[in-house]
A and B are shown apart, each in its own frame.
Chain A
Amino acid sequence: MTAVRTAGPRAGLDVPAPAEPPRPRAGRRGWAIRIASPLAAAGLWQLLTVTDARIWLRFDRLPSLDEIAAEFAAQLATRVYYLDLLQSLIRILTGFGIAAVAGVTVGVLIGRSRRAGDVLTPLLEAVRPIPAIALVPIAILLFPTDEQGIVFITCTAAFFPIMVSTRHAVRALPTLWEDAVRTLGGTRRHVLVNVVLPGVLPGVFGGLSIGMGVSWICVISAEMISGDFGVGYRTWQAYTLVDYPATVVGMITIGALGWLTSALIELVGRRATRWLPRAAKEGRA
């Protein structure tokens, strides 16, 4: 027939994409720098606080590292430290958990259904610009207990970034996958489960990361305003009692919790989106 038949042996140019090249690891030098940088910052802090430096910025009332370390050790031995920690974690996980479910649901709904978009978008866009922490009066009036109010504020704060990034991810989804599933006999439900939900995950995890960040901001702020437990409450109380080392211990605790929860989301996100082409880009012909 035609010349195509004369094609050579099958080894050919059609080689599979090469395995992902190993990510460049931070060498020994890289690690040395990573450790040295926070140490240098800590050293500077120590220098400024021990010498009671007043160079326009006033370091004379800030606690030095040894004071902070002593306070930290003392607090780690108390029950109340862990109770506060647990209380804040319960609040944030409840608020964030509700926000994650609601945000993804509403985001998908608005992204997939024009009718739902018409009904919900004006409402949501009217509330979105209000900083969640400005909802404190509403929360106090609305909910019987402070506890529920704090969870409400945390939830509202995390809801919007999650909802918005889900909505964008739904709209950015290539229609090709949906067409493929539909020509295989898939219904709307099949498309939702097999295409939309897995396909939006990369975008959703972006929203979850941001949502977790603002959740912490709001749970701590809300605890500082109203609450009788929690890391935020304890930190503010320490400040009003002029216990500056304890204030800094509170801040370090908040930082560590925020970092841990973000890292957790990052980890889960990477596992859930392992299929992304990321470093394997050059594998494309």
Chain B
Amino acid sequence: MTTATTAAAAGLRLTLERVTLGYGRGGVLRDVDLEIEPGEILTVVGSSGSGKSTLLRGLAGLLPPYRGRILADGAEVTGPSPDRAMIFQEDGLLPWRTVLRNVELPLAIRKVPRDERRRAAREWIARVGLAGSEDRLPRELSGGMRQRVQLARALAAAPRAVLMDEPFGALDAQTRAEMQRLLLDVLRDTSATVVFVTHDVDEALLLGHRIAVITPAGVRVLAEATRERIVKEL
């Protein structure tokens, strides 16, 4: 398991302290306590409607908790930050921007000079296997290719945490397997903390250092996760 280093781009420690999150009155997640270690890949499994996306939106700072605190390296999360990039299930790309301009966006927001961000974006596009597609629009890409672009865009600005909301959920089995390999490959070079949400138990086992299960009773991290144990928890 990866441990935190003292490097500047080290992964964030994400902490939930008795957090209640949700839309409407009740809240989907109640009194959740969770500690996500710097640099680890935590996969979160749960059935649909169990609050997986809600948890990620809370961590991203898109959804403030009703009660409790969400902390990133000890500082309370009050809104979105480029430190915590998010990858959505689909259509997270801006459809009017080409692949290159989508990947450049986080760098442009950070006011990276044009030449530099163009070079960095091209590098990332090549890294996810899309060299040559820089000038295509999202609608000209397949679902898998669009997710590659999202991955490149999220990682281009070197975030300290990557929040992934069922990013491969809409892909066919073969493309999904390819994307999982690519993800593991790409993450090997970063020390970012990853929270990966999925409803696929096998995917969770393959990708995660640790696995958390969301059940109506709450969020539980399974120490020795096996397929059987997860299925039983669900």
Contacts and interface: CB of A to CB of B under 8 A. Distances in A.
Interface string A169-190: 0000010110111111110001
A182 B81 CA distance: 7
Contact of B172 (A13, A180, A277): A13
B178 A184 contact: no
Interface in A189-239: 190, 194-195, 198-199, 201
Nearest to A3: B202
Nearest to B137: A275
B4 interface: no
Contact of B109 (A186, A198, A280): A186
Interface string A1-36: 111110110101111110100000000000000000
A180 B140 contact: no
Interface string B71-85: 000000001111011
Q: Size range of the interface on B?
A: 35 or more
Contact of B143 (A3, A273, A280, A285): A285
A283 interface: yes
A5 B177 contact: yes
Given A2-B205, A176-B88, A184-B105, A194 B60 contact: no
B216 interface: no
Nearest to A275: B96
B142 A16 contact: yes
A14 B206 contact: no
B62 interface: yes
A184 B62 contact: no
B218 interface: no
Interface in B49-106: 57, 60-62, 79-82, 84-86, 88, 91-97, 105-106
B142 A17 contact: yes
Nearest to B174: A12
Contact of B177 (A4, A176, A280): A4
B85 A183 contact: yes
Contact of B92 (A3, A5, A10, A176): A176
A251 to B, nearest CB: 40
A16 B85 contact: no
A27 to B, nearest CB: 28
B127 interface: no
Interface of A: 1-5, 7-8, 10, 12-17, 19, 174, 176-177, 179-186, 190, 194-195, 198-199, 201, 273-277, 280, 283-285
Given A180-B94, A275-B96, 13 more contacts: A4-B202, A15-B142, A16-B142, A17-B141, A177-B94, A179-B60, A183-B61, A185-B110, A190-B109, A199-B96, A276-B139, A283-B139, A285-B172
13 contacts: A4-B177, A7-B178, A13-B174, A14-B172, A16-B145, A176-B88, A176-B91, A181-B105, A181-B109, A183-B84, A184-B157, A194-B94, A283-B140
